[in-house]
Amino acid sequence: MRFFSDNAASVHPAVLEALAAANHVDTAYDGDALSKSLDAAFSELFETPVTALWIASGTAANALALASLCPPHGSILCHRDAHIQNDECGAPEFYTHGAKLLLGEGEGAKLNPVTAAAALDAVANDVHRVQPHAISITNATEYGCVYTPDEVGALGALARARGFGFHMDGARFANAVAHLGCSPADVTWRAGVDILSFGFVKNGGMSAEALIFFKPELVGATHQRRKRAGHLLSKGRYLATQILALLEGDRWLANAHLANAKAQVLAIAAGTRLLHPVHANELFLRMTPDEGAKLRAQGFDFYDWAEREVRFVVSWDQDDRDIAKFAAAIAAL
Amino acid sequence: MRFFSDNAASVHPAVLEALAAANHVDTAYDGDALSKSLDAAFSELFETPVTALWIASGTAANALALASLCPPHGSILCHRDAHIQNDECGAPEFYTHGAKLLLGEGEGAKLNPVTAAAALDAVANDVHRVQPHAISITNATEYGCVYTPDEVGALGALARARGFGFHMDGARFANAVAHLGCSPADVTWRAGVDILSFGFVKNGGMSAEALIFFKPELVGATHQRRKRAGHLLSKGRYLATQILALLEGDRWLANAHLANAKAQVLAIAAGTRLLHPVHANELFLRMTPDEGAKLRAQGFDFYDWAEREVRFVVSWDQDDRDIAKFAAAIAAL
Amino acid sequence: MRFFSDNAASVHPAVLEALAAANHVDTAYDGDALSKSLDAAFSELFETPVTALWIASGTAANALALASLCPPHGSILCHRDAHIQNDECGAPEFYTHGAKLLLGEGEGAKLNPVTAAAALDAVANDVHRVQPHAISITNATEYGCVYTPDEVGALGALARARGFGFHMDGARFANAVAHLGCSPADVTWRAGVDILSFGFVKNGGMSAEALIFFKPELVGATHQRRKRAGHLLSKGRYLATQILALLEGDRWLANAHLANAKAQVLAIAAGTRLLHPVHANELFLRMTPDEGAKLRAQGFDFYDWAEREVRFVVSWDQDDRDIAKFAAAIAAL
Amino acid sequence: MRFFSDNAASVHPAVLEALAAANHVDTAYDGDALSKSLDAAFSELFETPVTALWIASGTAANALALASLCPPHGSILCHRDAHIQNDECGAPEFYTHGAKLLLGEGEGAKLNPVTAAAALDAVANDVHRVQPHAISITNATEYGCVYTPDEVGALGALARARGFGFHMDGARFANAVAHLGCSPADVTWRAGVDILSFGFVKNGGMSAEALIFFKPELVGATHQRRKRAGHLLSKGRYLATQILALLEGDRWLANAHLANAKAQVLAIAAGTRLLHPVHANELFLRMTPDEGAKLRAQGFDFYDWAEREVRFVVSWDQDDRDIAKFAAAIAAL
């Protein structure tokens, strides 16, 4: 029973059906009818006109977003535990041609206006220092915490006040929205977000994320960058259809509710072991190596995250009986 | 009836079945059993130990190959009509961090040792000039012509003599092998090719190409480059399974034989209009705008390629009755 | 007697005097009084407000100019014999983060509107092709020919019509102006040039070129790019003072007149051997290896440029007696 | 009286004399006799065969060194107060094509094996994380502290144990050696340093630093990188001669002794205000805004470094009477 990562989860049956349904001749790249319908589909979801591009990975989506917000000689403020800093092998640096990530602090991998301003203000404004141009946050965060619309809005106001772009890495955006119960608009553009990497792969998709531009002018050279990164796949309709299948009937949200709910079962079992509030589908627990070994001996797989700290990630498609067994095993430690 | 591009073709049913069959939990990225089986599958096909990586696009596969063969301050010799020069929005320059493409001549978009040496020898060997480090050819070429093993071998010998790497863009490698009737090994590593971008998408696949390293040491930092380009997709098993499905029972070759055969039907109809020999699944014809309009009026779609020149691309899945109608329409011009 | 390159020439005595005169404490980088006076000095020379930066090399000046005119996914049209294409080890590609050079034709290394349009029009306007964003010409050219204001203006009009930037590599701009007898303004901004690399090193300077922006908005991130390239030297006053010394009393123009005049002496001697008109201080001659050997045996050093082709470059400081001897030796062949 | 920066200092008279003495025709770029003599001169100084290149700025020297030690997908460990992190506008990221700087801790801007290992060990060894490839330290540090040979050696041993390259930013290397009284070899290659940026500009030079490779194989593509960065100046002899003039009779060391001694005068006056030991020519003092204003009112200029913290930098050429006045003024606060 795998609690390593929601990347290991299966693909939602509706996605497979959509792939089969799309299996006929159509225009190549993103000129097909399905790809062309993404703007409208996301504009409806976000209650505002947006430009939406399919991208085969969250790393590429993030890096393209950052490249549209920050020049090579600039920096992007993010939390020191951000995925873009730690888990993308330098994709932001590659796509931006060498911009820096400026690291900020905050509980649960969340920046806040105080920590953000502290990091930004430490950079003297001259030609010798790499100047910040953007802020990037992850929602839900790398520690499974969720920024509320107000929290996002406070950072959005800071970004706006300084003339910065504002990006949200939403690899688990669905889990965040499911937790918040708000409109997707409330926690994005209404709170100042300019570009959202909207993750589908961890949430029932196969190989398609959506990159959402709330300000069309920020698309800029993203089409060229996507192409020259080899991310303008030649049969784009098979990416678009995955996304559309998950948008249909709000499957994306239903899946996220499932994953979050299953995570809550484990959270209750984990009790005081929890290192962060469990808002989404990730749990971080205090655990000795011996305790970890006991769980593994019972067939539960997961990552050691730090010394005496483990991470569990729950997927939308995990069997509730497995969840129950795991909860029992955790409680019994 | 679309003769624009084999990128528009549908996906082979076996690929869809394979996707469904792979739809269960497995390790993320390329740690799953399917991804791990690619090396063995291609080693068998190529009769030599190879390292094989899935890549979601041919552009990314080419660019990764070139980045492993050429430093930022080097150049890669290719034909002036090469896809890497004209159709990838600078992906080679992006992935290599600014290497140049050195352009050579040759009929049918084919380099040969004479034209290759002419281009290479024009570069004085000093620190002021960007020095060539690699040769890249496309087989089948951008004009639908196929390099024979001997022709590849002559360029391979040149590359070896100069200490260069040698890459083959095989977006339509299957069509080339189908035409040649040789072993895949004969026209690649036995002829000196170091790295092959082996295309599956135009030939029945959905979103997976294979990057084949005949010299394991050339893999070098390709894993890191793939990751930082956002091309280490998190559910890699869905790419691996596409490739494996097309390798199974040599479907890749059967599909290519189909496409080539259908192209031959059109070639016969085209007769003296043909601008290049039709080895694979592409045809380039002399055609006046009036003639083109007549064909289009009958429902046949295709690209104008140059002045009084059109391109037809035939896909493996096109209906033989459409092919017959198109042949008749061409012959009737 | 060296006719290799004007890079080998000595430094004008006034430049050395200026260095000594500047040898006192002042603000670092480009905050000193001398650096700050460059804008005014060049604005007067060019009869329009300009922004002027010192740069330690022509290669860096060119590359910074191109980086301000062309994004990583764009291309710059230049002549196929341009210095930026052949003699800078890929500096344009490095500074632009991978832009391409689009190569055009023309006698004497000069582009013209017909050859420029031919090269530009061959690039289809879609996301797959690297799109041109700028034109760069060299005046005097790499074959020692000079563009007239009208010729520059015709290319400037083309650039403007297409929304491109327009750069002039003026490594031997002084020689061009000396030949033309026009105002520096006539052959630059009045003819549509946006940015000029104004060379001083080949013309009496030691280590300072000037980068002139005729449109202040194009300076953009040039200050940041100069810094991050390590070209914001910490004691910039020693660069500024070199330039100011050569501007004073139009020494830059006097030196260029000297070099051009000496070149004319050789040009007369060369007669029908000349492969290009001699407008500036470079000569290209037909010459057999035997003839070349004869000259070298008499102590004259120069480059073989191509098969049966040699290049002589004359410097402002060469002794007229050496010139006379060389002329005689050439005539006597 | 300026205590801003040793970048503002004048040039040693011997350097100006050397420039004048070099003012004759010679081969361009680095083919001249002076440039060619650098290897021997530095090999003698360092008691081992080295390769030495002139570079016009310390930023470029550092960036070229790092580019030879770290690939685009790697990282370089440095102190969080390092010049390469804070004062080069991203030059390391530009020259390395996007490598990251991994930041470590330590008093006085000095890394040590414990803090270095802590930073390095926090990076999991997988393809998702940017892997460290090199360590870079500054000696004397950005806080005017000097690493001893033993301290350097401990980090050198760590670098060697992990297979990393080891770079020393020696913008004030002369001041460090003057403080230590050791052989330059002891604190560089004998302690494991692979490449040294040896600063001359702050210490009597005009526009030439030396990049010293203690392992010739690490030069690699540095010549190409220097050229494509526009740092292969065409009249290199005027850079080489500056360095040779400062090496002659150990002027570099005498100048550093002067600067350090003058700094000691101020250090004694500063007493308990000092925030770091004064090993070289920089002082960091606790100081209220009022106190700073008093000093400035007496004609002393310097930087506010942080809240209630100021920096003084002493140059080799400052008048001892000014130093005495400043010392008195500080003591009188």
ipTM, 2 dp? 0.97
Q: CA geometry: angle at B6 spanning B3 and B11, to 5°? A: 125
- Chain A hits for B230, Cβ within 8 Å: 55-63, 88, 91, 229, 231
Question: Does C73 sit within 8 Å of A224, measured CB to CB?
Answer: yes
Residue among A73, A227, A228 whose CB faces C224 most closely: A73
What's the confidence (pLDDT) of residue A263?
Answer: 97
Chains that touch A (3 or more CB pairs under 8 A): B, C, D
* Residue in D closest to C97 by C-alpha: D97
Residue among C73, C127, C232 whose CB faces A127 most closely: C232
Q: How far apart are CA B69 and CA B193, in angstroms?
A: 12
Are C191 and C153 in contact, with CB atoms under 8 Å apart? yes
What's the confidence (pLDDT) of residue C58?
Answer: 98
Question: Does B94 sit within 8 Å of C93, measured CB to CB?
Answer: no
Q: What is the mean pLDDT of residues C116-137?
A: 97
- Chain D hits for B131, Cβ within 8 Å: 224
- Chain A hits for D101, Cβ within 8 Å: 100
Contact map slice: D 26-85 vs A, CB within 8 A:
72-73
SS3 label, residue C215: coil
Residue among D73, D221, D232 whose CB faces B225 most closely: D73
Question: Does C97 sit within 8 Å of B90, measured CB to CB?
Answer: no
User: Virtual CA dihedral for B74, B70, B170, B250, nearest 10 degrees?
Assistant: 170
Q: CA geometry: angle at C236 spanning C230 and C238, to 5°? A: 125
Mutation for C interface: D169, D235, D303, most C CBs within 10 A: D235
Q: How far is A76 from chain B (nearest CA, A)?
A: 17
SS3 label, residue B313: strand
Contact map slice: D 274-293 vs C, CB within 8 A:
none
Contact map slice: A 116-135 vs C, CB within 8 A:
127-128, 131
Chains that touch C (3 or more CB pairs under 8 A): A, B, D
Question: Does A89 sit within 8 Å of D128, measured CB to CB?
Answer: yes
Are B280 and B75 in contact, with CB atoms under 8 Å apart? no
* Residue in A closest to B230 by C-alpha: A60
Question: Does B233 sit within 8 Å of A57, measured CB to CB?
Answer: yes
Question: Does A97 sit within 8 Å of C224, measured CB to CB?
Answer: no
Residue-wise pLDDT tens digits, D136-191:
999 999 999 999 999 999 999 999 999 999 999 999 999 999 999 999 999 999 99
Return the number of other C-beta atoms located less than 10 Å from residue A273's C-beta. Answer: 18
Are A285 and A224 in contact, with CB atoms under 8 Å apart? no
Question: Does C100 sit within 8 Å of B130, measured CB to CB?
Answer: no
What's the confidence (pLDDT) of residue D2?
Answer: 85
Question: Does B207 sit within 8 Å of A57, measured CB to CB?
Answer: no
- Chain D hits for C16, Cβ within 8 Å: 16, 19-20, 23
Q: Band the pLDDT of D1: cuts 50, 70, 90.
A: confident
How distant, in Å, are the alpha carbons of A224, A304, C241, C323 from that of A209?
A: 18, 28, 56, 70
Q: How far apart are CA D63 and CA D76, in angstroms?
A: 11
- Chain A hits for D86, Cβ within 8 Å: 128-129
- Chain C hits for A97, Cβ within 8 Å: 72, 97
Task: Report yes or no: C88 at the D interface, CB cutoff 8 Å.
Answer: yes
Number of DSSP helices (H) and strands (E) in chain A, helices first: 14, 10
- Chain B hits for D221, Cβ within 8 Å: 71, 73
Nearest residue to D209 via CA among C235, C206, C89, C58: C235
DSSP structure string for A196-259: EEE--GGGT-SS-EEEEESSGGGGTTHHHHHHHTT-S-TBTHHHHHHHHHHHGGGHHHHHHHHH
Q: Looking at the whole model, is its pTM more than 0.90?
A: yes
Nearest residue to B146 via CA among B185, B100, B108, B106: B108
**Chain mean position to CA A6:** 12
Retrieve residue C40's tokens: 């005014």
Q: CA geometry: angle at B328 spanning B326 and B333, to 5°? A: 95
Question: Does A232 sit within 8 Å of B59, measured CB to CB?
Answer: yes
**The length of chain C, given as a count of residues:** 333
Question: Which DSSP category does B318 fall into?
Answer: -
Chains that touch D (3 or more CB pairs under 8 A): A, B, C
Residue among A72, A127, A227 whose CB faces C127 most closely: A227
Residues of chain A short of pLDDT 50, as ranges, are none
- Chain A hits for B25, Cβ within 8 Å: 2, 8-10, 315, 317
How distant, in Å, are the alpha carbons of A147, B189, C63, D192, D196 from that of D212?
A: 50, 42, 26, 13, 5
Question: Does D239 sit within 8 Å of C207, measured CB to CB?
Answer: yes
What's the confidence (pLDDT) of residue B104?
Answer: 98
Question: Does B89 sit within 8 Å of C128, measured CB to CB?
Answer: yes
What's the confidence (pLDDT) of residue D70?
Answer: 98
Q: How far apart are CA C277 and CA C275, in angstroms?
A: 7
Q: What is the mean pLDDT of residues C222-240?
A: 97
Mutation for C interface: B89, B105, B303, most C CBs within 10 A: B89
- Chain A hits for B301, Cβ within 8 Å: none
Question: Does D98 sit within 8 Å of A98, measured CB to CB?
Answer: yes
Q: CA geometry: angle at D64 spanning D62 and D67, to 5°? A: 110
Q: How far is B97 from chain C (nearest CA, A)?
A: 6
Residue among B29, B71, B228 whose CB faces D73 most closely: B228
Residue among C19, C201, C230 whose CB faces D231 most closely: C230
Question: Does A99 sit within 8 Å of D129, measured CB to CB?
Answer: no
Residues of chain B short of pLDDT 50, as ranges, are none
Q: How far is B127 from chain D (nearest CA, A)?
A: 6
Q: Band the pLDDT of C39: cuts 50, 70, 90.
A: very high
Strand partners, C313: C282
Contact map slice: A 205-224 vs B, CB within 8 A:
206-207, 224
Q: How far apart are CA A73 and CA D159, in angstroms?
A: 29
Within C159-270, strands assigned E span: 165-170, 195-198, 209-213
Return the number of other C-beta atoms located less than 10 Å from residue B217's C-beta. Answer: 9
Are A237 and A21 in contact, with CB atoms under 8 Å apart? no
Residue among D89, D96, D99 whose CB faces A129 most closely: D89
Question: Does B94 sit within 8 Å of C128, measured CB to CB?
Answer: no
Q: Band the pLDDT of C2: cuts 50, 70, 90.
A: confident
Residue-wise pLDDT tens digits, D89-134:
999 999 999 999 999 999 999 999 999 999 999 999 999 999 999 9
What's the confidence (pLDDT) of residue B26?
Answer: 84
Retrieve residue C192's tokens: 């549509």
Contact map slice: D 222-251 vs A, CB within 8 A:
none
Tell me: pLDDT of C7 over 90: no
Question: Does C7 sit within 8 Å of D29, measured CB to CB?
Answer: yes
What's the confidence (pLDDT) of residue A166?
Answer: 98
What's the confidence (pLDDT) of residue B315?
Answer: 95
